[in-house]
């Protein structure tokens, strides 16, 4: 009878031991033990984790000082009179420093310093502008209103002077210059431009050569005709043509372009927009070089007075 009792005990004893072993290991839960992982043990040796050192935590610097130099001069370091008389590049540096500091700190004092710098810069600019206006109004060479008036009576006189200059020029150029008129028989704009050129020829008696681009594609290619109508100014002594009209243009605009084109072909592009009555004026970029005597103005070499 005892034999039948011991036999089941011997069969179930290994199972009981195997089930009891994990329960024993659970007592050290949370620890890296020999039996806690299937990849650790005799054949999966692992070094213990190093102990963490106590590192002293450093406080982050305040946002207002990030990226900023330790000391940068601002408006608070100068008196009002020093800022007023300060050399402009140095003033610009102090202005930028004051602005950047006010933007970083957003304090009342730094913002007030920036507003002060902005006010001084505006006052200095107005003072300089007033001095420039005074010099321009009292020195004829710097005053452009006498050469390009804005008032209505002055504009009438200016336009009459310009018309007289163009008329005299057109009357003396018809023997040396001519116009090439490139057109297409299917171009409606060319019909309008043809009437304008006939009006110009009636008033100025210029030679005008019409060229049909469909009959003379060689000339159209030589002159690089991209659109019709196109009008070129040519000089008998200068083979280089000058375009005076692309598309339909009026007689006054055509005369002005011819007037300027003549100067380009004879003297070059510099100063070709000036009329004869503007030579030597404040609008003439070469007025100073054309003068032989130089006058001292306020202790500084300047322009001779007219």
> What is the set of domains in the chain, with CATH numbers?
71-134 (no CATH), 152-279 (3.40.30.10)
pLDDT for 27: 46
User: How does residue 210 score in pLDDT terms, banded at 50, 70 and 90?
Assistant: very high
The tens digit of pLDDT for each residue in 58-68 reads 565 554 455 55
pLDDT for 44: 56
The DSSP string of the chain is -HHHHHHHHHHHHHHHHHHHHHHHHGGGTTS--TTS-TT-SSSS--PPPPPPP-PPPPPPPPGGGTT--S----GGGS-HHHHHHS-HHHHHHHHHHHHHHHHHH--HHHHHHHHHHHHHHHHHHHHHHHHHHHHHHH-GGG--TTTS--SHHHHHHHHHHHHHHHHHHHHTTTTTEEEEEEE-TT-HHHHHHHHHHHHHHHHH--EEEEEETTT-HHHHHHTT--SSSEEEEEETTEEEEEEEEES---HHHHHHHHHHHHHHHHH-STTTT--GGGTTSTT-TTHHHH-S---EETTEE-PPP-
User: How does residue 304 score in pLDDT terms, banded at 50, 70 and 90?
Assistant: very low
Query: Which of the two residues, 158 and 188, has the higher pLDDT score?
Result: 188
pLDDT for 291: 66
Output the pTM of the full model: 0.51
């Amino acid at each position: 009878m005892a034999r039948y009792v011991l036999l089941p005990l011997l069969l179930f004893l290994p199972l009981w031991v195997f089930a009891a072993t994990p329960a024993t290991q659970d007592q050290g839960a949370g620890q890296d033990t020999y039996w806690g992982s299937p990849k650790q043990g005799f054949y999966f040796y692992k070094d213990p984790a190093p102990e963490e050192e106590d590192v002293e935590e450093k406080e982050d610097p305040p946002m207002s000082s990030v990226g900023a130099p330790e000391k940068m001069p601002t408006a608070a370091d100068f008196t009002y009179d020093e800022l007023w008389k300060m050399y402009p590049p140095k003033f610009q540096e102090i202005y930028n420093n004051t602005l950047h500091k006010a933007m970083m700190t957003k304090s009342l004092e730094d913002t007030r310093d920036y507003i002060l710098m902005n006010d001084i810069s505006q006052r200095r600019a107005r003072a300089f502008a007033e001095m420039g206006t005074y010099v321009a109004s009292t020195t004829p060479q710097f005053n452009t209103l006498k050469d390009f008036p804005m008032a209505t009576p002055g504009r009438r006189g200016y336009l009459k002077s310009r018309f007289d200059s163009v008329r005299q020029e057109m009357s003396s150029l018809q023997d040396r210059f001519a116009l090439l008129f490139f057109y297409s028989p299917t171009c409606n704009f060319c019909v309008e431009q043809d009437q304008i050129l006939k009006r110009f020829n009636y008033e100025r008696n210029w030679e005008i050569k019409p060229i049909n681009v469909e009959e003379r594609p060689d000339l159209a290619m030589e002159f690089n005709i991209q659109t019709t109508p196109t009008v070129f100014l040519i000089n008998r002594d200068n083979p280089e043509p000058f375009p005076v009209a692309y598309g339909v243009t009026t007689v006054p605009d055509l005369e002005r372009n011819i007037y300027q084109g003549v100067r380009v072909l004879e003297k070059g592009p510099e100063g070709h927009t000036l009329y004869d009555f503007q030579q030597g004026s404040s609008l003439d970029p070469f007025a100073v070089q054309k003068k032989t005597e130089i006058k001292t103005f306020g202790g500084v070499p300047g322009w001779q007075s007219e």
